[in-house]
Structure 1
Amino acid sequence: MIPASQVSKLNNALPFWLSLGLIPLAIVGAVYGGWFIALLPLCGWGLFSVLDALTGQNEENADPATPDDALFWYRAITIIWLPLQLCTIFGTIWWVTATDHLVWWEELALFFGIGVISGTIGINYSHELMHQKPKAERWLADVLLASVLYGHFRSEHLLVHHRYVATPRDPATARYNEGFHRFFPRVLVTSLVSSWKAEKAMLARKGLPALHRSNPFVRYAALQAGFLLLALVIGGWWGLLLFAYQALIAIWQLELANYVEHYGLTRKHLGDGKYEHVLPRHSWNASNKASNWLLINLQRHSDHHYKPDRRFPLLQTYGKDDAPQLPFGYPVMTMAAMVPPLWRRVMNPRVRAWRKQHYPDIIDWSAYKAATNPLPR
């Protein structure tokens, strides 16, 4: 029997386990096909948008000094997700290629939905795990990222994004007026290049060559090759294509979140390629309760940049005077980002108000942007 104290902790953590409810929807879609396939993306975006409206906001903060042993039920969801995701991806590849009861477009639609959850949930959980100190959790993050063919995201996120966020030197910070459809191809290329350069520079400081076995890109490549081979063995060339397709959708979901998180926000340039310290005002935040359950408090993004290794249930929220607030949660905002005119109409006035509030001394932002172009690295 679970002790009463643990039952209470489990009950508090249960809302964050809602993501598990998306797995059965993938199974239902695979078995029945047709309109059942639409349940997965509809719930991932639509249901949680509705729940956000019904449940309101949560601006309470947990004690950041809470010890790890009190967070067992919160940590558990990020750990058990990996086998569930792998079983969902590869089990579905086996099912659709072995039974052949779905037509090709149904299979693509099904793996679109699977990509939505492997990106929205899987990459988000890998993001939580890669920031933790236990080596086993960081390995779980690498495996999750390999399952969507985006292993280098760990290097880019830890070595580049957290250092250069809200500056022109960060590929993942969306520029003011940069539509998502321009941002996405740009970040795909520049994040790969910047992460490789960051790892290469670290090895050089140790007197090691770029292709040394300790370069994590060796691990990323091996894990991704293993998953590609597994998809090929299970489902042939069509299975390999389905696996790669869900990976692309997952990456798209990740970069949509990246786009929203820092759009138009800029740290002040201090000269000589240096910028002010990262502050809560350099990330967009949302306190919507349901989408924070789904995304394990990713929307408390300012505090994540302040304390990157702080576990998700302990992330703090900030008021509008300290951190800019999104008008809706990520599910709505990422859908808006896919329509650039709508996005600019909603977000550009907020960016301009943010600039006036925090940097009233900067009059000409176009000239400021030209003067702070990234320096060669």
Structure 2
Amino acid sequence: MNHFKKIGFFSAFILPVLLIGGFYLGGLNLLLIHAFVFVLVPYLDFLIRTDRTNIPENEISNISKERFYRFVTFIWVYVQIGVLVWGFYVVAAFTLSFWEWLAFTTGIALVTGGVGITVAHELGHKSEDLEQDYSKFLLMTVCYMHFIIEHNRGHHVRVATPDDPATSRLGETFYSFWWRSVTKGYFSAVHLEKERLQKRGIPFWSIDNQMIWFAIYPLLFVGIFTFIFSFFLGRFMWEVPVFFFAQSFFAFSLLELVNYIEHYGMVRKKIDGRYEKVTHLHSWNASHMVSNFLLFQLQRHSDHHAFAYKRYQVLNHYDESPQLPQGYSAMIILALFPPLWFKVMDRRLEDWKEKVGV
């Protein structure tokens, strides 16, 4: 992979710079990060269009092993924790108006949810203990640790079927999907963890139950920082937990927006009573260059579901995969307005169904 593309994967680090710079500049500059994600990135995606080039097969193995690409994601973990702790400091030490607080909190969520959960998703699919630990740590900062269970052992098995909470249905609005995916996804993770424990002969209520720890860790995390800031500032800093849980809400809602987009209306055929194998035809794909740099090629989602073990730098574009008209930044805005979403996407979905014979 050429040096330009390598440098491109550092574009995610623009977000913390805009967030911090925008805060200290004050005023409408608090919205710099929002403008970058939802105005500039879609505009650049529109101008530059798509990058449909793939890594040659004979280079995939070597590029997959290059430490550079893991280094970028590892560095992000430390940047995110630094930004989040700085966020605790801001809400504890500064007096913010409601709109400033909202702009700041949603800006943090673009860091922790927009990029942080994307990195957690990438690392959570890998077998190395360090990558798994980093993934869980990132998910802890947005109160969504159960995602690593439900996504890997639930969603990837049941995707594009009625049994998958994270596959949005034809005609379903994002708002109804959000409730179903959040609630049923959580209970699915509980069930999957219960099954894992049963196979090992371990009772559900035990210290081996990951779901119990996944509920404790975020509370312990925010509790420690609430105590620290309360101690040094001489009063109970209720602003810290309120901010933490609010940015978590916005962050995992951003994840659910992406979930909504990725598989809208996708259905796998049943053959002899069993669902066909997941292929690159069962996820919406977007190979827009700018937003793919920002999201570590998450938008080449069709290849990710066909080959979940592949690292982000070697994911392929497939012309035959169903294609989104724009990258995720633009499609997220569209998904918030159901009539517009249905107008744009339902026609594309019908074309896909006709193509695959569903």
TM-score normalised by L of structure 2? 0.93
Is it true that 1:218 corresponds to 2:212 in the alignment?
yes
Letter in 2 for 1:284: W
Q: What is the match of residue 375 of structure 1?
A: none
The answer for the alignment partner of 2:251 in structure 1 is 250
For 1:219 and 1:51, locate their aligned partners in 2 and report how far apart those are by CA, in whole Å: 42
SS at match of 2:308: coil
From 76, 80, 83, give the equivalent of 1:81.
76
Contact map agreement 1:44 1:117 (CA 8 A) in 2: no
The alpha-carbon deviation at position 271 of structure 1 amounts to 5.3
Secondary structure of 2:51 counterpart: coil
Classify 1:343/1:136 alpha carbon distance in 2 versus 1 (closer, same or farther; 3 Å). same
Q: Which residue does 1:43 correspond to in 2?
A: 36
Residue in structure 1 matched with residue 344 of structure 2 by the alignment? 346
Which of 30, 37, 46 pairs up with 1:53? 46
Letter in 1 for 2:115: I
Does 2:6 correspond to 1:13?
A: yes
Whether the 8 Å contact between 1:296 and 1:313 is mirrored in structure 2 is yes
Distance in 1 separating the partners of 2:23 and 2:91: 7
- What corresponds to 1:26 in structure 2? 19
SS at 1:282's partner residue? coil
1:341 and 1:149 map into 2 onto residues whose CA distance is 31
Shift of the alpha carbon at 1:251?
0.6
Name stretches of at least 5 consecutive residues in structure 1 with no aligned partner: 1-7, 363-377
2:267 corresponds to which letter in structure 1? T
Residues 177 and 96 of structure 1, relative CA distance in 2, 3 Å threshold: same
Residues 29, 107 of structure 1: alpha-carbon distance in 2 compared, 3 angstrom cutoff: farther
When the two structures are aligned, how many residues end up with a matched partner?
349
**8 Å contact from structure 1 (residues 148, 250) kept in 2:** yes
Measured against aligned partners, the alpha-carbon deviations of 1:161-194 in whole angstroms (never above 9, x if no partner) come to: 0000000111000000000011011111000001
The residue correspondences of 1:312-351 to structure 2 (distance < 5 A) are: 312-319=312-319, 322-351=320-349
Aligned equivalents of 1:207, 1:271: Cα separation in 2:
34
1:287 correspondence with 2:287? yes
- Secondary structure of the structure 1 residue equivalent to 2:271: strand
Give me the CA root mean square deviation. Answer: 1.7
- Residues 88-97 or 324-333, more deviating: 88-97
1:266 Cα shift? 0.2
Match of 2:170 among 176, 189, 201: 176
Paired letter, 1:121: V
**Distance in 1 between the 2:281 and 2:253 partners?**
26
Amino acid at match of 1:275: Y
Task: Report the CA distance between 1:69 and its aligned residue.
Answer: 7.2
Equivalent residue, structure 2, for 1:311? 311
Contact 1:18–1:293 under 8 Å retained in 2: yes
Pairwise CA distance, 1:141:
0.3
Q: Distance in 1 between matches of 2:321 and 2:3?
A: 31
- 8 Å contact from structure 2 (residues 46, 326) kept in 1: no
Q: Unaligned stretches of 5+ in structure 2?
A: 231-236
Any conservation in 2 of the 1:29–1:110 contact (CA below 8 Å)?
no
TM-score if structure 1 supplies the norm length? 0.89
Q: Which residue identity lines up with residue 281 of structure 2 in the other structure? A: R
Q: Secondary structure at the match of 1:168?
A: coil
Give me the whole-angstrom Cα distance separating, in 1, the residues matched to 2:197 and 2:65: 37
CA distance in 1, matches of 2:290, 2:25: 28
Counterpart of 1:317, as a letter, is H
* Letter matched to residue 293 of structure 2: W
- Structure 1 ranges of 4+ moved more than 3 A: 8-12
Give me the whole-angstrom Cα distance separating, in 1, the residues matched to 2:63 and 2:294. Answer: 21
Distance 1:47 1:16 in 2: 17
